[in-house]
Every structure is written in structure tokens, then in C-alpha cells.
Amino acid sequence: MSWTDKLAGILVKAGSVSLQGIISDGAWSYLSSQDLDSQTDPMRMLEALIDVWGPKLLESKEIQVMMLETLDCTSLEALADKLGVVSKGTPAPILVGKLANISWSWGSTKTCIFCEHFGIADVVDSYVMLAASGDDQDEAVSSVFGRPLDDPFYELHTFQSDIRDRVLNQFIVHGEQKLLLQLPTGGGKTRVALHTAIRYLRAHEGDRVGILWLAYDPLLLSQAAATFQKLWPVLGVGDIEVRRIFDIYRDPIHCSGPVIYFASVQSLTNRFDVATRQHLKESLLITVFDEAHQIVANQAKEIINNLLYHNDELRLLGLTATPGRDYFDDEANVQFRKYFSTNIKIEPPPKVASFGAVDVVADDDRTAITYLQELGVLAQLEHRLLDYGMSDQRGHSVSITQDCYRPAALKKLGEDPSRNRHIVDEVDKLVAQGKKTLVFACSVQHAEDLSFFLRLRGINVGLVLGNNREHRSATINRFRKTQDLHVLINFGVLTTGFDAPEIDAVVISRPTSSLVTYSQMLGRALRGPMNGGHVRNLVVNVSDPIFGKENEAYKKFETYWRDYA
């Protein structure tokens, strides 16, 4: 018998009262609204919880208490003795509390003893194997060797190489120091920026041989580092050091030869002493800042302004899909525009009236998204509004100064049984149609609840959260590369740094007042056939979206840049 079956058998002994203590109020509201008794069967609920969380479920103190309370006094005291906890004369409830408060660490002696006592020792090996198979940390790289100068390699679409050349022209010929590169999500910002940085490094003559790739999100940095490792051998010349300064990586900064740093703002801030700042100022040739709308945040702005101050040789290239800070904050958008001034973006060619005609269509208002959809680089999007009886969720709950609705409003939405039933029904239909579906939940709790509900229906679900990172990559790989997982549910993780051309449908159950966040969620469905995606994908909005369809969202910030076109 597997550890999952044994654990479910142990926990079911705790009874429904104990089970209610580990399931959210919203989940119980949903379950009580269901007609099928099978969905509220304790064993089935436990099996669903274990399937969603896997070994991590055992990290929960509530789960540990439930397990301990199933032991008789003799067995409880025996476990306490094994773990070095004084048990003689200690009342059982107090002893349970002491044992549950022992620090849980996978692979530690005490954790192994705990699991062995309950006959589920194989759960430790299961956790270790899962973590190893899904390790999303990049392989350490000391250097990458490039090709000779006479063997150039270009792997860009025409529109991408045009943008690359325009950026290089502004940097080299016109001497501009700060540029913004705007490409829709799915348009290849990372690849274009790396091609540009490598070209600029090759064209430069002098002592400066450093590139800094800066971002807030470790996923973006991992993605960029992986892309660079593929590009440098065919684009670069000689060898270059690849150093990571984010997440668990603490590579040295000081380097005398060609180097590219992939650094998070937080990690670099922690190491930005006088010596490091001076070294970077003297050695860096170009800095690339991903998700550039965050550049006016205090930490990022301080780093970049320090590097640029009295440093005319250093260039700054910002990357964004939405060239603004906050649609509702005019002052912040003007501040952002003034920081860069020049925005390099796709200029769609004129659309003619018919084949062979020379007259340009007068009302051609295509955006870069429209143009890339015509080329097949981006997918056409079919938008569907999932109406669950509330036509307008906004009311007075929208915060125009924050990235989402107020927490109280989001919590209420996430606990709405009618709303959740409509979401689950919709995802169920999409799975039945064979669609790979990505769901954006209202909160961490909402993501957990939706995963639980879908598992009760027998649907395999991948849960991706900030607190389950060690298994995140394995879950994503299973979604991308197998046919037994068709649903990913996440909150606050997969808006950026996530590329899955396999996606057929995106369900946006998370309302947001942030145009940037909304565009990023839409972007997960935009991967087109020329980039390994689909001709057409589906977007389901579980609300009346503030920002409309992809082209409307893309044009929202244009007014701030008209004087700089």
C-alpha cells in the first residue's frame, strides 16, 4: 500500500470534525451547496487533498495533530520517546502539541522517525524524488564559449531584427543612454534584448565588457539566463562568465573579463556596497531591466541611477509589454515616460485596401498585437465572459492605487460558492475538450480551494504557488509535456516568466485594477503558431474586465508616448 493510501486511512479516523479544521470556510460553503454526496465523503476529500498537495501536506501542523490524535496513549508515548520528548506523566493533549511543534525538515532524523512510526516512511523518498525531478534552479555555468566572428547566427523574426537594429542605432549612432523596448507578451522581448546586448558588446572597443540583466522576479532571471546559454555559443565571440545573483545564487560580482550578471533587484541591493558599485560603473557596458515599469520603484531606481550617474558609456535598455506604471495614476505614468523618453516598438506596415492596391486604408488602427496575430506570431484570442449572476463586481471595492481589489473583496469572491461552481464547471468543460488550461485564482486560498474542488471531480490539477517552489517546476513540466495534467491553477506566480505554448485556454478568475497585471495574464494565451503555440486560444473572464480585449489593453498607455513616437 502506498503512503498516500495509508495517510488517507490514518486521517479518516480523525473524523469529519477534525477534517473541517483543515478545509477553508469557502470550501465548506461550496461543498454544502453540492447535490452529490460523493463529493463530501471524508475519504474522497482526503484523497483529493493528498493528491493536490502531495508530501507537503504533512508539513501542516493541523495534519500532524490529526495524525497524532489517532494514536492511543501507549503509541503516542512510544513516539515521544523516539523523538526525545519527555512523555511520562504528560497528558495526551499536551504531548500531541509538543510533538506537533517539532520542526519539520524533510530528510531529518526526527521527520523520518515520525513518518516511520505511522508506516509512511516512503513519503520522504517521494518528496526528495519529486523535488529532484522538478528542480527549477539553473545548472551552474562558469563560462560559455562563442563562435568565431565570421560565423554569425541570427534567429530572429524580421520584426524582431528591425527592433534590435533600431535600438543599436539609437545607442551607437545617436548616443542615447536610456531606451525603452516595448513588445507584446509573446513577442520575444527576452530574445531581442539578448541579441541586442550581445551585438552591442561585440561592437564595443574598450575596457568595458560587462552586461547586467536586472529584474525583480527570479523566474524572469532564470528564463533569461537559460536563453543566453543557448544564444551565446552562436552569437558571441570568445568566452564569457555567466554569474547569477538572485534567489539561492550568490556568485561573485567582481570579474576582470567579459561577464553577464543575472541579478535580482533585492539581491543586488543587499550587496551594493561602495566597491561593488564602483566596479560595476567601470565595467558595465549595458544594463537591461526586465519589466521596466517597475524601474521607478525605490530599490531599482537607486541602483540604476547610481550606475548611470556621470557614466556616459553605460547604456540602459528597459523591457516592457505595457509602457506605463498605473492606468489610474497619471503622475506615475508621466514620471515613467520621462525616465526613458524614447520608446522603441513595432510599427505595423501600412495595410492596403486590396491585393495590388497602393492606397493605404485610412482607418488602419492596428496595434503591434494585431500585426503579430496576422503574422501568426501571436494567437488570436476568443474572449468569453463567464456570467454567474453578478454583472459588475467592481462597485466600490476597486482600489485604483493598488495592483488588485482590496483583500476583503477578493476573499469574499473566493468564497462565493456559486462563483466557484461556475468556474469548476467551466474548467471541467475545457478539460473534456482536451484543452490545456491555466487558471488565475483570486488568492492563495482560492487557488487551493479550486484545486481541491476539481480533484473531487476526478480532474488532475497542478497547483503552483509561491510556497511550493521546490515542486513547481515538476508540476509545470508535467503540464507541458504530458497528457495526464490539463489544468494549472496559480496565484501571483505565472503572470511573468512563464512560457507554455501548449496553453489552449486561460481562465481569469482574479479581478484586477492593474492594466499591467491584466495584460500579463492575457499574455499567457498569446503564444502563436510561429512560436510553437496555437492559431486561436480562449480567454474566459470570470468578471466584467475593466480593460477589455488585448488590443484595447495594449493601447491604453499610448497617449503618454505620442510626443516621443
Mean pLDDT along residues 180-207: 91
**Nine-digit cell string for 416:** 462565493
pLDDT in tens, 59-117: 889 899 989 999 999 999 999 999 988 888 889 999 999 999 998 888 889 999 999 99
Closest CA to 464 of 442, 439, 482, 484: 439
Same domain as 307, residue 181: yes
Same domain as 185, residue 106: no
Same domain as 173, residue 75: no
Q: Which of 88, 109, 133 is the last residue of a domain?
A: 133
Flag whether pLDDT at 134 surpasses 60: no
Angle at 425 between CA 422 and CA 430, to 5 degrees: 125
Q: What is the pLDDT of residue 483?
A: 87
For the chain, the domain total comes to: 3
Give the integer Cα–Cα distance in Å for 283 and 210: 6
- Residue 154: count of CB within 10 angstroms of its CB: 11
Same domain as 129, residue 89: yes
**Percent of the chain clearing pLDDT 70 (strictly above):** 87
Flag whether pLDDT at 165 surpasses 90: yes
Supply the CATH number for residue 165's domain: 3.40.50.300
In sequence order, which residues have a C-beta less than 8 Å from that of residue 71 and are 6 or more positions away?
Answer: 79
Same domain as 303, residue 192: yes
Same domain as 335, residue 213: yes
Flag whether pLDDT at 541 surpasses 60: yes
Question: Does the residue 360 lie in any domain?
Answer: no
Question: What is the residue whose three cell numbers read 474566459?
Answer: 540
Question: What is the residue whose three cell numbers read 526525545?
Answer: 84
Q: What is the pLDDT of residue 290?
A: 93
Q: Are 15 and 21 in contact (CB under 8 A)?
A: no
Angle of helix 189-203 relative to helix 158-172, nearest 10 degrees, comes to 40
Flag whether pLDDT at 194 surpasses 50: yes
263 DSSP 8-state letter: E
Question: Does the residue 284 lie in any domain?
Answer: yes
Question: Does the residue 366 lie in any domain?
Answer: no
Give the integer Cα–Cα distance in Å for 46 and 40: 10
Q: What is the pLDDT of residue 275?
A: 92
pLDDT in tens, 6-57: 999 988 887 766 677 778 888 888 888 876 665 668 888 888 888 888 888 8
Q: In what order do the strands lie in the sheet with 315-320?
A: 144-145, 239-245, 259-264, 210-215, 284-289, 315-320, 178-182, 343-345
Give the integer Cα–Cα distance in Å for 27 and 546: 28
Q: What is the pLDDT of residue 393?
A: 45
Give the integer Cα–Cα distance in Å for 283 and 447: 45
Same domain as 37, residue 60: yes
pLDDT in tens, 218-233: 889 998 999 999 899 9
468 DSSP 8-state letter: -
pLDDT in tens, 139-157: 444 455 554 444 444 578 8
Mean pLDDT along residues 298-327: 89
Angle of helix 368-375 relative to helix 158-172, nearest 10 degrees, comes to 140
Same domain as 394, residue 297: no
Question: Does the residue 183 lie in any domain?
Answer: yes
In sequence order, which residues have a C-beta less than 8 Å from that of residue 263 and are 6 or more positions away?
Answer: 212, 213, 214, 221, 244, 245, 246
Question: Does the residue 53 lie in any domain?
Answer: yes
Q: What is the pLDDT of residue 326?
A: 77
Q: What is the pLDDT of residue 39?
A: 60
Give the integer Cα–Cα distance in Å for 375 and 323: 23
542: containing domain: 376-550
Flag whether pLDDT at 363 surpasses 90: no
Question: Does the residue 564 lie in any domain?
Answer: no
Q: What is the pLDDT of residue 172?
A: 93
Q: What is the pLDDT of residue 133?
A: 58
Mean pLDDT along residues 471-497: 86
Same domain as 270, residue 319: yes
In order of 30, 165, 187, 498, the CA distances from 343 in angstroms are 48, 14, 16, 25
Q: Which of 101, 133, 165 is the last residue of a domain?
A: 133
Give the integer Cα–Cα distance in Å for 461 and 51: 9
Q: For residues 513 and 422, which has the higher predicted lDDT (pLDDT)?
A: 422
Same domain as 50, residue 100: yes
Same domain as 114, residue 188: no
Question: Does the residue 561 lie in any domain?
Answer: no
Same domain as 415, residue 340: no
* Mean pLDDT (the chain, rounded): 84
Flag whether pLDDT at 378 surpasses 90: yes
Query: What DSSP string runs through 48-112?
Result: HHHHHHGGGGGG-HHHHHHHHHTS-HHHHHHHHHHTT---TT--HHHHHHHHHTSPP-TT-HHHH
Closest CA to 473 of 499, 441, 510: 499
pLDDT in tens, 419-477: 999 999 999 999 999 999 999 999 999 999 999 999 999 999 999 988 777 677 788 88
